[in-house]
Amino acid sequence: MSLSPDIERLNQRITFLQSRHGFQLLDGDSFAAFVAQPGAALVLFAEDPAKVPETWDLTVILPEAVARLDTAVRVGVLAPQAARALAARYGICTWPALLALRDGEYLGTVEGLKDWSAYGRLLAELLAAAPCRPPGIGIPVHNAGAGTHCH
């Protein structure tokens, strides 16, 4: 099966991010091992640029934003098919998205494209956040005895 020109170009961009910036291409199998490693991690959930052109923008913004962080962080990239398969686990509904984790625990997401200058602040806030439960998809569950939550 032949890939669309946009997917081919996205794959080339991901290869560039791997070779130039050390980002890791993840799939359903390698994702679990990547997020289980100790330390801070960001994962780009990419979508087909023909459907969500902002995916291109985030592949340019992300290396710059990561370079400006005061925290060491590993960065992974999920190509569209793998990203779609894992999105519900983290409540991701808007593309492209960035998932932040520390020691495998959920810290939050940035969904959709934001202003370039906002990423430094947003990523620093996420990486400094306390771990919490990922948001669920579907029927909300409320615990009457619970205190505050992160969502």
pLDDT tens readout for residues 58-105 = 999 999 999 999 999 999 999 999 999 999 999 999 999 999 999 999
- Does residue 141 form part of some domain? no
- So what's the pLDDT on residue 4? 85
State how far the Cα of 96 lies from the Cα of 46, in Å rounded to an integer.
5
- So what's the pLDDT on residue 147? 44
The answer to whether residues 53 and 114 touch, using CB atoms and an 8 Å cutoff, is no
- Does residue 150 form part of some domain? no
Average pLDDT over the chain, rounded to an integer: 90
- Does residue 117 form part of some domain? yes
The answer to whether residues 111 and 30 touch, using CB atoms and an 8 Å cutoff, is no
State how far the Cα of 115 lies from the Cα of 104, in Å rounded to an integer.
27
- So what's the pLDDT on residue 138? 52
Q: Which domain holds residue 63?
A: 5-128
- Does residue 142 form part of some domain? no
- Does residue 151 form part of some domain? no
Q: What is the DSSP string of 76-131?
A: EEE-HHHHHHHHGGGT--SSSEEEEEETTEEEEEEES---TTHHHHHHHHHHHSPP
- Does residue 145 form part of some domain? no
- Does residue 137 form part of some domain? no
- So what's the pLDDT on residue 137? 57
Closest to 84 (Cα-Cα) out of 58, 111, 50, 47:
47
- Does residue 149 form part of some domain? no
Predicted model pTM: 0.88
Number of domains in the chain: 1
CATH number, position 66: 3.40.30.10
The dihedral region occupied by 22, where left means phi > 0, alpha psi between -120 and 50, and beta the remainder, is: left
